[in-house]
Amino acid sequence: MATAEHDRERRQVFGDDAEQYDTARPDYPGRLIDDVLDFAALTAGVPAVEVGAGTGKATLAFAARGTPVTCVEPDARMARVLRRRCTGMPHVAVEVADFETWRPERPYGLLYCAQAWHWVDPAVRWARARTALRPGGAVALFWNHWHLEDPGLAERLTALHARQGMEVPPYTILDPRPRPARRGPQARQWHEMEADGGFTDVAHRLYETTHERTPSGLIELLASFSGYRVLPPAARERLFRDVSRIVEQEGGGAGVRVTSSLFLARSRA
C-alpha cells in the first residue's frame, strides 16, 4: 500500500507547474494518432475516452480529427490548462476524477491513454477499461521514450549526477535501460491484457522521431519528469545549472530521439 500511496503522490507532481509540463513535452506522431483511429474504426459520433488527459498533449490531436472525447484527469490544475487548450471544441468534455472511481455514463468506442496508464491502479485498471468500452471497443495505450542522440553528452550528464550524489531517475532521458525494455508479446502491457481475458487482437507498434533541444529546452524536458520534480529544489537547481553548462560546452544543443510505443487491443464482444 505504501507503494500505491507513493505512486499517487508522484502522479500529482505534474500539476505543480502544469504550464511548464505542457510546454516541455513533445507531441505524439501524427501517424500514431491516425493508426489508433484506423484501428478503432469509430463510426460518426461514437466517442472516445481519454484516461489521464493531462494538459491535452494527445487530446488536441484526436479532437482535431473530429473525434468526440471525454477527458478524465485527476489533477484539477492540469485540467484547467486542458480546458483552456480545448476552448472552442464543444466535442471535448473534461471531467476531474480518478479513473479508478470514475463512472462512465455511456459506452465508448475507444479508450486511449497517453503516458499515464502506469499511474492507474493495476488492481482495477483493466476491469475499469472494460466497463468503459462497448463490446469490440478499442484500447490504445502509448508512451514516448526519450534518448539523447550523442552518447558522449549522455555520459557527461550521467557522470554529473554521480558527482552530485544522485542517481539518474528511472524512465527519464538518461535512464540507461533500453526502452521500450520489452516489445510485443514480451511487454508487460501485452501480458496484462492477455491475462485479463477481456481483450483480443493485441498489437504493438513503434514510431521514431527526432527533436533538437536548446540547453533551456533540455532543462524544461528534464523538469517535466516526476523523478526530477520530487528532488529538493536546491539540488534540482544546482543540477540543472550544470546540465545547461555542459550542453553549452558540447555545442549548445542536444539531439533527442523519441521512440513512441503504442499498444492496441479490442474488448471482447
pLDDT tens, position by position, 60-100: 999 999 999 999 999 999 899 999 999 999 999 999 999 99
The reported pLDDT for the residue numbered 4 is 44
| DSSP per-residue codes, 113-182 | EES-GGGS-TTTHHHHHHHHEEEEEEEEEEEEEEEES-HHHHHHHHHHHHHTT-PPPTTSTT--S-SSSS
Lowest mean pLDDT among 11-20, 159-168, 210-219: 11-20
Q: Tell me how far apart the alpha carbons of residues 74 and 77 are, in angstroms, rounded to a whole number.
A: 9
Q: pLDDT class for 183, splitting at 50, 70, 90?
A: confident
State the Cα–Cα distance between residues 230 and 191, nearest whole angstrom: 31
pLDDT range class, residue 26, cuts 50, 70, 90: confident
Does residue 236 register a pLDDT over 70? yes
Q: 3-state class of 96 per DSSP? A: strand
Q: What average pLDDT does the structure give for the chain?
A: 89
Mean pLDDT over 193-210 rounds to: 95
Higher pLDDT, 4 or 160: 160
Using 50, 70 and 90 to split pLDDT, how confident is the model at 266? very high
Determine what percent of the chain is predicted with pLDDT higher than 90: 76
Q: Which domains does the chain have, with CATH numbers?
A: 2-267 (3.40.50.150)
* Of 18-27, 115-124, 162-171, the least confident: 18-27
Return d(Cα 170, Cα 184) in angstroms, integer: 21
Q: Is 255 helix (H, G, I), strand (E, B) or coil?
A: strand
Retrieve residue 230's grid coordinates: 520530487
Judged by phi (left if over 0) then psi (alpha if -120 to 50, else beta), residue 237 lies in: alpha
Does residue 5 carry a pLDDT above 80? no
Q: What is the pLDDT of residue 245?
A: 97
